[in-house]
Structure 1
Amino acid sequence: MKVLVIYYKQDAVVSTLRLGGLIKYLPEFGWEPIILTNKPSPELNKFKVITVPYDDDYIKRLPKLLRNIKNNSNILLKIIKFTWMAFFLYPDAQKYWYEPALAVVEDLLENEDIDAVISSFPPVTPHLIAKSIHENYGIPWIADLRDLWTQYGYYVYKLFPPRLYRERRLEKNTLSQADYLTIVSEPLAEKLRKIHKDSSIRIIPNGFDPEIVNQGHPLTKKFSIIYAGGLWSGRRDPRILFEAIKQLKLENKIDLNDFEINFFGPDEDRYWIQNFIKGYGLEEIVNFQGLIPRDEVIKKEWGSQLLLLLLWDNPDEKGVVPGKIFEYLAAKRPILVIGYVGGVVDDLLKQTHTGISLNNVNEIKRELLKAYSEFKCSGMVSYNGVYEEIEKYNHKEMTKKFVDVLNRVLKN
């Protein structure tokens, strides 16, 4: 059986690991993946890959007046830029990938018998391509959503009705045609059902590659905390952690010379952190390392005493399960989540015994002090993850769930 997998590879590598893991393990379940994407990837070399290159740098498409607008630019220019993007980058910056990608697929279908299509969102365009294939050729279609579409907590046009109304209508018209919708968590599925009442929806969590797991990497000599990912303009906010460390220092309960906090992420986050870090007196222990290759980040995670995951402290985060949490599961190091408590991430940590979710300064202080005391006594923070529970979230288990959906759509 052959399945066409359509996904658009963006710079946020973790977000596309779901599709990479699916593609890697599909053959073990009797499915041959054929991949339509925009960028070649070494991990896909053993598969049939159709690459349709595309430059999605939307800055190049902006009028010259709007290209160099920064956060401190004139408010009127920022409004003009936002409005321009709302209308001219609809439904996404990849919209001009649609026609050349679809043309290549039509050529493919003359030579290949494709039994099913899986498209991945975000961005929107892969779903639009899959919808056309489904309508024109009658091939069963699974629309996978790594995040919600117009219900997404970070959806930038939430307060801009002209764009929201138009895109919500597109979402309904598009996803209503899919045979199945797949999404990463039950709370997100609940939201999805509110606007896709007649759709068949299956929850398929993300996962980690069982071949990329910490086998005993040496730990750092310092009490190291690592965060790898974006801060989303401060919505994922480390300041409560900094406040907890500052207070422990003032109470003479910790020695800052033992500490090392490393952030790996985009440069805009560096400037955001630098604006306030001195106020906590932590500039000597907080290091911003920028973006480095993923395999290097993984080794840093494996060697860290604590893994930090930041969530937006907002109910919209309840069903959000960042791909990073699964990478952390494979690191086999204790996880400290700061932000929204009571969501899917919290449940996952409790199920796997891999960490704790907190959003209160005093609770964070207690947890840090407990971990720090272990570190001072033994040179390491203990790890108590339950192997059997963690293994439920590897990419093979994830692929099994996709295969079940594939088999269902074929029967229908």
Structure 2
Amino acid sequence: MAEQLIKHRLVFILPYLNVNTTSSERFKSFIIAAESREDTEVEVITFDYGVSHSFFKGLSFDNVDRFEPKKHKVLKPKLNSLQKLAFSALNKGSKLWRVLQLCHLLIYGRDVFYPGSLFNYFEKGNQPTTIICSGSHFSFFDCAYQLAITYGFTLVLDYRDPWTFGYTAIDGFAFVQKLKVWYGRKKELKFLQKAQLVSTVSQSLKDFFPKHLRQKVEIVPNGSNFKEGDIRPNPLPKTFNIVFAGTLYQEQLSEPVFFEALQRFLKDKERQQIKVQFVGAGNSPALKVISEKYGLSDVVQTTPRLLMKDFLTYMNQASVFLHLRFPSKKGVIGSKYLEYLNFHKAILLPQSDEGDIAQAIGRDKAGFVCSGADDTLVALNKLWERFITKDSLTWENEVSAESAITRDEIARSFIAKVMAV
């Protein structure tokens, strides 16, 4: 009688799953790749903090393309009083949320998402086990570390953003980053030393880690959320649609270069033919202010996070895709770049980041890397000329092997590396 196969157990500890974000799509791809293996038993742990949406990022937990792993535990953490206040503020769109998050860090040495010990919810089991934990929220790393140390599990840490090694969080404050370093650097080093494998999304972010630990850091980039059958770009859209997809951060609006160029671009145009669509950006007060300042409120549109089928409509009808840099950061390319690339329209970067975004656009011959409002105006007028003469707006980019890899391929490769540790 053949021996029964003892499956390796992979346990994912994740902040969320059913939210329309790139990070959620990354998690789903990892889970699907793991569940497809016959030698693997997959468990997924996520957390319910009683938050239904985020006013700051336009996220909703209702209007989403839902995904359910085969084995999924949703835990309701026992929150302390400060956490309860913080999540209540987040749900109401109050900026008190940031203050309470900072207070929690100062008092408890952990971010407000810390769910407490997971031992009461966790069965050790008899088979070999690997914990895969993704940040940020980096307090989850603490939970995963505790389990790995106690039970001798393999530990894999997946970084999407830097923690204490790297830049200040997007739209964050420098003094808060200093506090994170003060409170978290020793912890992070301890977790990194314990981890058998660490992953991050780009070479730029890998280079932030200490040199003596980089040999265990693998680059696992974000891929496009769309499959080939979803991509049906219209070469001759009825209106000239400038599309920005996904989360819009206040830091990206700190430079008015694009809006200055757009104001000038519109002077001799029929404005009803032009739309600037911030798709999935949600309610952005900063965008409203800058649109009003430059007299653009009639052409600038925003939407909340959308279901994939609705999001696809905007992507397929785009005339040009807008990329905005983070002025203080060169290593943030964002997953939207690969999504833009696959829809074969020009990508417009109004101000070069002199880093990952500019390098990628140049490498793939994907559009325009500009050095200010004058360059941006020239690029917009070139594309407008093609629009009004009904010349195809399809952009003949030269996609590199690095950019062509799909999210599914990335996930399968990552899980194979996890299993080989």
TM superposition score normalised by structure 2: 0.80
What is the CA–CA distance in structure 2 between the aligned matches of 1:104 and 1:212, rounded to whole Å? 40
Q: How does 1:98-247 map to 2 (within 5 A)?
A: 98-99=116-117, 101-105=118-122, 107=123, 109-110=124-125, 113-150=127-164, 151-154=166-169, 156=172, 158-160=174-176, 161-193=178-210, 197=213, 200-209=216-225, 211=227, 214-218=230-234, 220-237=237-254, 239-247=256-264
Deviates more, 1:142-151 or 1:61-70: 61-70
Q: Does structure 2 retain, via aligned residues, the 8 Å contact 1:374–1:382?
A: no
Matched, 1:5 2:16: no
Q: Which amino acid in 1 is paired with 2:12?
A: V
Aligned to 2:396: 384
What is the CA–CA distance in structure 1 between the aligned matches of 2:370 and 2:87, rounded to whole Å? 45
**Secondary structure of the equivalent of 1:172?**
helix
Q: Does structure 1 retain, via aligned residues, the 8 Å contact 2:247–2:280?
A: yes
Deviation, 1:304, is 1.3
**Secondary structure of the equivalent of 2:338?**
helix
Q: Does structure 1 retain, via aligned residues, the 8 Å contact 2:241–2:276?
A: yes
What is the CA–CA distance in structure 2 between the aligned matches of 1:78 and 1:237, rounded to whole Å? 22
Q: How does 1:210-359 map to 2 (within 5 A)?
A: 211=227, 214-218=230-234, 220-237=237-254, 239-250=256-267, 252=268, 254-269=269-284, 271-314=285-328, 316=329, 318-359=330-371
Question: Alpha carbons of 1:62 and 1:202: their partners in 2 closer, same or farther (altered >3 Å)?
Answer: closer
Question: Alpha carbons of 1:222 and 1:344: their partners in 2 closer, same or farther (altered >3 Å)?
Answer: same
Partner residue of 2:408 out of 396, 406, 409: 396
Q: Does structure 2 retain, via aligned residues, the 8 Å contact 1:225–1:261?
A: yes
TM superposition score normalised by structure 1: 0.82
How many residues align? The count is 393
Deviation, 1:224, is 0.4
Structure 2, gaps ≥5 residues long: 1-7, 49-60
Structure 1, gaps ≥5 residues long: 72-76
Deviates more, 1:61-70 or 1:17-26: 61-70
What is the CA–CA distance in structure 1 between the aligned matches of 2:99 and 2:288, rounded to whole Å? 29
Deviates more, 1:81-90 or 1:280-289: 81-90
Bigger helix share: 1
Partner residue of 1:367 out of 364, 371, 379: 379
What is the CA–CA distance in structure 1 between the aligned matches of 2:89 and 2:28, rounded to whole Å? 39
Deviation, 1:391, is 6.3
Question: Alpha carbons of 1:119 and 1:59: their partners in 2 closer, same or farther (altered >3 Å)?
Answer: closer
Q: Does structure 2 retain, via aligned residues, the 8 Å contact 1:329–1:390?
A: no
Q: Which amino acid in 1 is paired with 2:219?
A: I
Q: Does structure 1 retain, via aligned residues, the 8 Å contact 2:271–2:299?
A: yes
Question: Alpha carbons of 1:63 and 1:292: their partners in 2 closer, same or farther (altered >3 Å)?
Answer: closer
Question: Alpha carbons of 1:338 and 1:38: their partners in 2 closer, same or farther (altered >3 Å)?
Answer: farther
Deviates more, 1:58-67 or 1:398-407: 58-67
**Secondary structure of the equivalent of 1:143?**
strand
Aligned to 2:52: none
Q: Does structure 2 retain, via aligned residues, the 8 Å contact 1:157–1:163?
A: no
Deviation, 1:164, is 3.0
Question: Alpha carbons of 1:358 and 1:265: their partners in 2 closer, same or farther (altered >3 Å)?
Answer: same
**Secondary structure of the equivalent of 2:209?**
helix
Q: Which amino acid in 1 is paired with 2:387?
A: F
Show CA shifts across 1:333-376 (max 9, x none): 33223444332222333333333333411111111111111111
**Secondary structure of the equivalent of 1:226?**
strand
Q: Which amino acid in 2 is paired with 1:285?
A: V
Deviates more, 1:398-407 or 1:371-380: 398-407
Deviates more, 1:177-186 or 1:164-173: 164-173
What is the CA–CA distance in structure 2 between the aligned matches of 1:363 and 1:330, rounded to whole Å? 24
Q: Which amino acid in 1 is paired with 2:377?
A: K
What is the CA–CA distance in structure 1 between the aligned matches of 2:201 and 2:91, rounded to whole Å? 35
Partner residue of 2:112 out of 93, 100, 118: 93
Matched, 1:26 2:34: yes
Show CA shifts across 1:266-300 (max 9, x none): 5551x212223233222221122334334422321
Matched, 1:14 2:22: yes
